[in-house]
Chains A and B, each alone.
Chain A
């Protein structure tokens, strides 16, 4: 039988049509789908022994308590520590994804010199040469740590300078430092004992201070109550997250916070609502009304509401002398529920934003916020765990990332009591990273290591016999058996909490009302975040939902 071309085509078409009524193509399609859904290279979670360790978050100076779940030596999840005396079990939304940060594509893994890959040896030689040619300025973003002491010792030994980029919470305390001499880093707010808090733009429920400190307080004493035990009055230009949940919201024009503080203080003094403690502001209620957009009656009502239930304290979102002066008028300085001095050992620091002259080199620690750019012509050596893009640093040096470095954690900014904790290194650091303290030890071998300083501090705490050690239970330091025991507990996640403040240790004298400071832009939920990147999962709150606006200049 002869098979024609037509027969072949007919047979092929028939076979194709017949195949469609069999299960074969559908089974093949199904198998291909299943196979392609389960590629062998689809990520699989790690396997290995599971352990849980306690530590402190080191991504900002608030040092929240962390419970870290580890598998095979790698952190696979973080949660808050309910017994932590500062954060009380809370973390910020960024903290919950922080264990993924060390794998971020922007992780800095090699030394870079003006955009080109370089080596530690070349960076070391360049810095040593600069040190031999002139003074060095060292800039830190988290003072008070053991590593900070190493940096400060180095700067002083080289006739250089140690400067600090302070957090917004600490900058808001600078007016009190100018008026009393007490360092801003030694001051805090006794929010736990306040009955009324007037926030002039401070994002109390949105990234101000340690996340758990005020939010827990607000949830327990203010949330949902028509007549709350804690009255939160928010002065804000827009309905911010804090304003939306505050007991009262006073919408004012942006930048008019100082004028409103002066207007309120004038009403308080004129109507004798407070004992006369400060100078009369020059701003009248009518002038304050004109500048703020509120009516003069609204300002008078606000002043009466503020003092209706004390203790009362006013909070600024940055260095704003008028709001500090309002606290002086309110009698909220050095008193229960007001601005208090928690430490007598803290030091004042030179602010890093002043121009740096006659320095040969500037070394910037990784704790300094990425958006900080020093005003200098000197050669800049910048340590960073992640590369945030454009930077004026001549040298970019890879630093340890999240929980890759031993560090101690002094009291969070604006705390009312001293605290001390130790964050042990939980994650394995890549071999190519070095901390600034390790780098400087290569230049000056006489510098003490951070570990040695931490041990000495633990000894000091033990011999001081003051304060309490907070872990699952609270133990007075006087009952801890030995210095080694105290150190061991701190390494395992316990927190030392100092004695409560004493009111008589802090006074502010104010002779005349301060001149109005330049307006400060409002902070947002990222104000404490120093890294140039965000955990990838943070995109859930601004990219996959409309909860927050996309942060500018940050790489998620």
Chain B
């Protein structure tokens, strides 16, 4: 059975603590380079802060975790890659990045509308001895390649192996949970199979509070957000409203 893995992130529950960012980096052996900045660092999960731009007690802020949206249709990073280093896994819907094929041209970074891809500017390095603390399920990527969120693909492999060992063809949903989902102290990030109409995440994605960033592009991102606060939903909708022509065109692609 083919799955369409995706997320629903409840922005009303996000406190912007950053646990997801650190847990993601630890799981995926992302180095913390002393010279890295917001421009040159690697943050496959990045929490951004936005406000309603009001003053005084009326001011409200919300934190938006941004990760690869795993676009389903006309995936921009796939179509621009000259090396076939990016592909959408037909079995899972996960947009995969293969560092062994990547030549570091960064076309995909330019094509990504969400700025969710990062370039490895430097050799991965850790202080002496710290390599003993790396996660053996994930290979260290080399300098000169692009990387991004892959929904903790190593955990999917582990879940598949566990299912195979038990003689099952399908994985148990509880065995495949990305690190950021597991780390969230308020359970704001939900992960599941969007193709399964009985999956709670699939049902959440169809709720009236759910929305997607830059939905007007028509790339069918598989990361949804939800909020009961009207100004947060309006913020996402206003992005579409700025260019209604593009939105209409996107629907006809």
C-beta contact mask, A53-84 vs B, less than 8 Å → 1, else 0?
00000000000000001011011111110000
Q: Quick one: closest B residue to A207, CB to CB? A: B17
Say yes or no for B26: interface residue by CB 8 A criterion: yes
CB atoms of A76 and B133 under 8 A apart: yes
Say yes or no for A104: interface residue by CB 8 A criterion: yes
CB atoms of A103 and B15 under 8 A apart: no
Say yes or no for B73: interface residue by CB 8 A criterion: no
Contacting A219 at CB < 8 Å: which of B13, B37, B144, B179? B13
C-beta contact mask, A14-51 vs B, less than 8 Å → 1, else 0?
00000000000000000001000111001111111010
CB atoms of A43 and B126 under 8 A apart: yes
Say yes or no for B59: interface residue by CB 8 A criterion: yes
Which one of B76-84, B181-189, B196-204, B211-219 contacts A? B181-189
Say yes or no for A249: interface residue by CB 8 A criterion: yes
CB atoms of B123 and A42 under 8 A apart: yes
Residues of B within 8 A of A97 (CB): 22, 25-26
Contacting B18 at CB < 8 Å: which of A79, A80, A547? A547
C-beta contact mask, B47-58 vs A, less than 8 Å → 1, else 0?
111000000110
Q: How far is the CA of A148 from the CA of B43 in the complex (A)?
A: 40
Say yes or no for A425: interface residue by CB 8 A criterion: no
Q: How far is the CA of A545 from the CA of B12 in the complex (A)?
A: 21
Of the listed residues B127, B185, B228, the one surrounded by the most CB atoms of chain A closer than 10 A to its CB is B185
What size tier do the contact residues of chain B reach?
35 or more
CB atoms of B25 and A76 under 8 A apart: no
User: Which A290-340 residues have a C-beta within 8 angstroms of B?
Assistant: none
Say yes or no for B21: interface residue by CB 8 A criterion: yes
C-beta contact mask, B115-155 vs A, less than 8 Å → 1, else 0?
00000000111111111111111111011110000000000
Q: How far is the CA of A368 from the CA of B139 in the complex (A)?
A: 38
CB atoms of B41 and A43 under 8 A apart: no
* In the complex, the 10 A-B pairs of residues with the closest C-beta atoms, listed nearest first: A224-B12, A544-B41, A90-B185, A541-B18, A43-B131, A103-B130, A219-B186, A536-B32, A37-B142, A45-B134
Q: Quick one: closest A residue to B126, CB to CB? A: A43
CB atoms of A535 and B57 under 8 A apart: no
With A97-B22, A97-B26: A241-B38 Cβ-Cβ less than 8 Å? no
Say yes or no for A546: interface residue by CB 8 A criterion: yes
Say yes or no for A130: interface residue by CB 8 A criterion: no
Closest CB in chain A relative to B198 CB, distance in Å: 23
CB atoms of A543 and B41 under 8 A apart: yes
Closest CB in chain A relative to B213 CB, distance in Å: 17
Q: How far is the CA of A37 from the CA of B140 in the complex (A)?
A: 11
CB atoms of A226 and B228 under 8 A apart: yes
Q: Quick one: closest B residue to A43, CB to CB? A: B131
CB atoms of B140 and A42 under 8 A apart: yes
Q: Quick one: closest A residue to B123, CB to CB? A: A42
Say yes or no for B105: interface residue by CB 8 A criterion: no
Q: Quick one: closest B residue to A212, CB to CB? A: B185
With A45-B131, A103-B128, A223-B12: A540-B142 Cβ-Cβ less than 8 Å? no
CB atoms of B18 and A215 under 8 A apart: no
CB atoms of B125 and A43 under 8 A apart: yes
Q: Quick one: closest A residue to B177, CB to CB? A: A79
Q: How far is the CA of A249 from the CA of B54 in the complex (A)?
A: 14
Closest CB in chain B relative to A145 CB, distance in Å: 25
CB atoms of A45 and B32 under 8 A apart: no
Q: How far is the CA of A395 from the CA of B32 in the complex (A)?
A: 31
Residues of B within 8 A of A72 (CB): 132
CB atoms of B36 and A103 under 8 A apart: no
Task: Write the residues of chain B forming the contact surface with A, with a CB cutoff of 8 angstroms.
Answer: 10, 12-13, 15-19, 21-23, 25-27, 29-30, 32, 34, 36-38, 41-43, 46-49, 56-57, 59-63, 123-140, 142-145, 179, 182-183, 185-188, 227-229
CB atoms of B133 and A74 under 8 A apart: yes
Say yes or no for A239: interface residue by CB 8 A criterion: yes
Say yes or no for A96: interface residue by CB 8 A criterion: yes
13 pairs of residues in contact across A and B, judged by CB atoms under 8 Å = A37-B123, A45-B140, A78-B26, A79-B179, A80-B183, A80-B185, A100-B26, A100-B130, A215-B17, A537-B30, A540-B25, A540-B43, A556-B32
Q: Quick one: closest A residue to B137, CB to CB? A: A45
CB atoms of B186 and A216 under 8 A apart: yes
Q: How far is the CA of A42 from the CA of B127 in the complex (A)?
A: 12
Q: How far is the CA of A69 from the CA of B12 in the complex (A)?
A: 31
Q: How far is the CA of A212 from the CA of B145 in the complex (A)?
A: 37
Q: How far is the CA of A93 from the CA of B45 in the complex (A)?
A: 13
Say yes or no for A548: interface residue by CB 8 A criterion: yes
C-beta contact mask, A104-127 vs B, less than 8 Å → 1, else 0?
110000000000000000000000
Say yes or no for A514: interface residue by CB 8 A criterion: no
Say yes or no for A244: interface residue by CB 8 A criterion: yes
With A249-B57, A539-B32, A540-B25: A99-B133 Cβ-Cβ less than 8 Å? yes
With A74-B133, A76-B136, A239-B59: A91-B41 Cβ-Cβ less than 8 Å? no
Of the listed residues A33, A42, A92, A525, the one surrounded by the most CB atoms of chain B closer than 10 A to its CB is A42
Residues of B within 8 A of A103 (CB): 126-130, 132-133
Contacting A206 at CB < 8 Å: which of B15, B46, B136, B139? B15
Residues of B within 8 A of A50 (CB): 136
With A33-B144, A206-B15: A91-B185 Cβ-Cβ less than 8 Å? yes
Q: A80-B185, A545-B47 are in contact. List 17 more A-B contacts (CB 8 A).
A: A37-B123, A43-B126, A45-B135, A72-B132, A96-B26, A100-B26, A100-B133, A103-B126, A103-B129, A215-B17, A216-B186, A251-B57, A539-B36, A544-B37, A544-B42, A545-B41, A545-B48
Residues of B within 8 A of A251 (CB): 56-57
CB atoms of B142 and A38 under 8 A apart: yes
CB atoms of A218 and B16 under 8 A apart: no
Say yes or no for A245: interface residue by CB 8 A criterion: yes
Residues of B within 8 A of A42 (CB): 123-124, 140, 142
